[in-house]
């Protein structure tokens, strides 16, 4: 019937506490990734681990053929024995010559000569021992061990390959993934907004005050362990205006791998803010509007500003509304400015609506 006043559901705007989230694409890296390279040249005789294995510090990874080096060790040992005997002979000559000089049987010059021969023999012995130590070290280098606990990478070389310290690619890598580093970038404005109210005299001290962060995995699930933002670069990228940031996540079960992707999710707590259902607003040319019911039950088309986060159903209103205002939350497409309605008050939506809707991220 013409002139009939329609009934519309309205909701009173009340202050609430809410947490917004921001997601930043990230690339994961282990806290330590070590290239494994041979120190000596040789043919790979054995590969004692497999790609993807978890290894311990000191565990043997590769064995190079040691036949030539074993021969060098035996030769060096023989040279030490020869040099040792030469020293012994030179000492005897000195001991025999000294009494003869004291008795003026032979000249002082001859004593100096045999002493010089002793010094030369001792020098040769030292050189022979150094050669032996070097040969033994090279023999040890035929066993290539892991310098740290971690996960084995790929093998570009196989058994029978000739390798050396100058090879283009390492034999493999060992990644220590007990702690994973998540690198991401944030624009300068967001970074300043995040840190400006935090206590601390340095950036590191301020970052320590930030709440823990979450890691969204590629399958959209949330990683079991929360992380912590640790460092931020001291330089803003002039081309992108971004600040590079690193967060760390524990990885006790080894589920995260170096090179993996995901998103770091940062929480942002807002206290005593106004929330409205997203369905209560509409957008024109990038601006948001709601219908506010006045004391005469007439609606007023009201522009608002909202803080758009990944809330499931709500917007945080930053201006345009005040606590106690009533906004129409259903049927807004049938309304026009100044229209009289019969309001039916609805309960305010719980702040639990801040749960991120991953399916729509």
> Is residue 183 domain-shared with residue 240, that is, in the same domain?
yes
Say if residue 132's pLDDT is above 90.
Answer: yes
**Do 266 and 310 touch, CB atoms closer than 8 A?**
no
> Is residue 183 domain-shared with residue 242, that is, in the same domain?
yes
What is the span of the domain harbouring residue 190?
Answer: 22-30+177-268
Task: Give the chain's end-to-end CA distance (angstroms, integer).
Answer: 45
- pLDDT range class, residue 239, cuts 50, 70, 90: confident
Q: What is the mean pLDDT of residues 94-122?
A: 86
89 inside domain: yes
2 inside domain: no
Question: What's the pLDDT tens digit per position in 148-202?
Answer: 888 899 999 999 999 999 999 999 999 888 899 999 998 888 888 888 878 888 8
Q: What is the mean pLDDT of residues 89-118?
A: 85
pLDDT reported for residue 238: 80
> Is residue 58 domain-shared with residue 154, that is, in the same domain?
yes
**Do 243 and 261 touch, CB atoms closer than 8 A?**
no
285 inside domain: yes
Q: Which domain CATH number covers 56?
A: 2.40.50.100
Q: Which domain CATH number covers 113?
A: 1.10.287.470
217 inside domain: yes
Count how many domains the chain has. 4
Q: Which domain CATH number covers 335?
A: 2.40.420.20
Say if residue 361's pLDDT is above 70.
Answer: no
Of 268, 283, 311, the one marking the end of a domain is 268
Angle between helices 108-141 and 67-102 (to 10 degrees): 160
- pLDDT range class, residue 3, cuts 50, 70, 90: low
> Is residue 184 domain-shared with residue 260, that is, in the same domain?
yes
pLDDT reported for residue 2: 47
What pTM, to 2 d.p., does this model score?
0.62
Say if residue 353's pLDDT is above 50.
Answer: no
Which of 42, 68, 32, 30 lies closest to 157 in space, CA to CA? 42
- pLDDT range class, residue 360, cuts 50, 70, 90: very low
> Is residue 313 domain-shared with residue 335, that is, in the same domain?
yes
Of 213, 241, 268, the one marking the end of a domain is 268
> Is residue 11 domain-shared with residue 58, that is, in the same domain?
no
Helix, strand and coil content of the chain, in percent to the nearest 5, comes to: 25, 40, 35
1 inside domain: no
Q: What is the mean pLDDT of residues 237-245?
A: 86
Question: What DSSP string describes 65-107?
Answer: --HHHHHHHHHHHHHHHHHHHHHHHHHHHHHHHHHHHHTTSS-
Q: Which domain CATH number covers 238?
A: 2.40.30.170
> Is residue 186 domain-shared with residue 230, that is, in the same domain?
yes
- pLDDT range class, residue 1, cuts 50, 70, 90: very low
């Amino acid at each position: 019937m013409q002139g009939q006043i329609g009934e519309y559901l309205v909701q009173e705007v009340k202050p609430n506490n809410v947490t917004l989230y921001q997601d930043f694409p990230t690339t994961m890296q282990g806290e330590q990734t070590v290239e494994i390279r041979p120190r000596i040249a040789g043919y790979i005789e054995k590969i004692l681990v497999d790609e993807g294995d978890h290894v311990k510090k000191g565990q043997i990874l590769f064995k190079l053929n040691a036949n030539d080096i074993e021969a060098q060790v035996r030769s060096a040992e023989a040279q030490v024995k020869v040099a040792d005997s030469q020293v012994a002979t030179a000492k005897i000559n000195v001991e025999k010559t000294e009494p003869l000089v004291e008795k003026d049987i032979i000249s002082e010059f001859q004593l100096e000569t045999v002493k010089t021969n002793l010094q030369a023999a001792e020098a040769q012995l030292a050189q022979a021992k150094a050669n032996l130590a070097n040969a033994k070290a090279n023999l040890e280098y035929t066993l290539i061990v892991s310098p740290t606990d971690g996960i084995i990478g790929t093998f570009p070389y196989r058994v029978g390959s000739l390798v050396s310290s100058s090879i283009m690619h390492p034999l493999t890598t060992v990644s220590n993934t007990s702690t994973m580093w998540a690198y991401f970038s944030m624009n300068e404005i967001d970074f300043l907004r995040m840190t400006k109210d935090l206590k601390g005299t340095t950036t590191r001290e301020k970052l320590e005050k930030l709440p823990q962060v979450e890691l969204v995995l590629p399958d959209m699930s949330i990683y079991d362990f929360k992380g912590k933002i640790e460092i931020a670069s001291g330089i803003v990228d002039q081309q992108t205006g971004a600040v590079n940031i690193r967060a760390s996540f524990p990885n006790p079960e080894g589920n995260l791998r170096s090179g993996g992707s995901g998103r770091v999710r940062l929480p942002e707590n807002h206290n005593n803010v106004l929330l409205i259902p997203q369905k209560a607003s509409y957008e024109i040319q990038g601006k948001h509007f709601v219908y506010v019911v006045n004391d005469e039950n007439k609606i007023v088309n009201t522009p608002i500003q909202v803080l758009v986060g990944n809330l499931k159903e709500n917007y945080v209103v930053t201006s345009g509304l005040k606590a106690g205002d009533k906004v129409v939350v259903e049927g807004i497409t049938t309304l026009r400015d100044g229209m009289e309605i019969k309001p039916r008050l609805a309960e305010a939506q719980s702040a639990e609506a801040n749960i991120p809707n991953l399916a729509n991220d």
